[in-house]
């Protein structure tokens, strides 16, 4: 028995109606239908179903496309949706206690995306530096684990500066929700108990030089390098903070290969 003569299956009948039948089986199906009226009736029924569906719905595709489907307008609304989401996040942090602090900054009128990071970092600093028993999730004693864990969560290889030369010991770190994704937070402590924190999170903000910001009893130096935002926060002593931030910056910089110039 050749392919041409083998019995026709129900699957083949469907495939025949839908134009999916193999070319070398078409003749066999047609011969089969001529000899089997019940199957021929099935095929006719399926075709009339298809015709009814086309008769009912086919014309919709010929209607003029309503203006609501204008892609330009939809793209704009998609963008404004994104902007609105970002603005909502930003607003939450601004309202969350840094409004007064914002007033110090020259950029208060037009908060940049980056302000959300610094606001978040200063908030975290304020909350955790006063914590006595649980300032961190993973202690500095488990440094390799801490680095590995947070690198995995932030999806890039974190550099955790050694600040011993500046008189600061790594207390440890924790994972924090950042404004646009996970953030890593490291705490350092000096001999007299003063605490500094480094907050880092990935960002698409452009590269920046180091900047300074003061907020009542605290202050921060912050910058963006290679797609990562760094915020070093500490007590209001600006010179001391700059010295710590510079040390952190130098190490991050030194350890980062192929740093573009800026």
Return residues touching other proteins (CB under 8 A): 10-11, 14-15, 18, 20, 45-46, 49-50, 52-58, 60-63, 65-66, 68-69, 71, 74-75, 77-78, 81
Q: How far is the CB of 45 from other proteins (least distance, A)?
A: 6
Q: How far is the CB of 66 from other proteins (least distance, A)?
A: 7
Residue by residue, DSSP assigns 218-232 as EEEEEEEETTEEEEE
Q: How far is the CB of 217 from other proteins (least distance, A)?
A: 42
What the block records as the tokens of 12 is: 């083949």
Q: How far is the CB of 53 from other proteins (least distance, A)?
A: 5
Closest among 177, 200, 174 to 187, alpha carbons compared: 174
Q: How far is the CB of 78 from other proteins (least distance, A)?
A: 5
Closest CB to other proteins among residues 78, 207: 78
Closest CB to other proteins among residues 81, 262: 81
Closest CB to other proteins among residues 17, 244: 17
Rounded to the nearest 10 degrees, how much is the dihedral formed by the CA atoms of 205, 206, 212, 217? 10
SS3 258: coil
Helix (H) or strand (E) holding 126: helix 113-129
What the block records as the tokens of 80 is: 């404004």
Closest CB to other proteins among residues 71, 110: 71
Rounded Cα gap, residues 55 and 66, in angstroms: 21
Closest among 220, 181, 222 to 202, alpha carbons compared: 181
Closest CB to other proteins among residues 45, 255: 45
């Amino acid at each position: 028995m050749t392919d041409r003569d083998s019995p026709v299956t129900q699957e083949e009948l469907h495939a025949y109606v839908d134009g999916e039948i193999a070319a070398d089986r078409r003749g066999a199906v047609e011969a089969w239908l001529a000899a089997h009226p019940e199957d021929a009736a099935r095929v006719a029924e399926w075709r009339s179903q298809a015709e009814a569906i086309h008769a009912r719905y086919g014309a919709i595709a010929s209607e003029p496309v309503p203006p609501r489907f204008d892609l330009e307008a939809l793209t704009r609304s998609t963008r404004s949706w994104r902007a609105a989401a970002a603005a909502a996040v930003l607003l939450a942090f601004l309202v969350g206690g840094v409004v007064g602090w914002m007033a110090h900054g020259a950029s208060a009128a037009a908060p940049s995306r980056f302000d959300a990071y610094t606001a978040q970092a200063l908030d975290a600093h304020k909350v955790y530096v006063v914590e006595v028993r649980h300032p961190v999730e993973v202690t500095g004693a488990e440094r390799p684990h801490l680095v590995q864990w947070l690198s995995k969560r932030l999806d890039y290889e974190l550099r955790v500066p050694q600040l011993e030369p500046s008189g600061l010991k790594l207390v440890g770190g924790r994972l924090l929700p950042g404004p646009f994704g996970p953030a890593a937070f490291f705490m350092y402590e000096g001999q007299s108990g003063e605490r500094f924190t480094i907050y880092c999170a990935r960002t698409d903000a452009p590269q920046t030089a180091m900047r300074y910001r003061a907020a009542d009893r605290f202050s921060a130096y912050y910058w963006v390098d290679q797609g990562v935002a760094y915020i070093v926060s500490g007590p209001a002593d600006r010179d001391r903070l700059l010295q710590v931030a510079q040390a952190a910056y130098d190490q991050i910089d030194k350890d980062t290969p192929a740093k573009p110039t800026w």
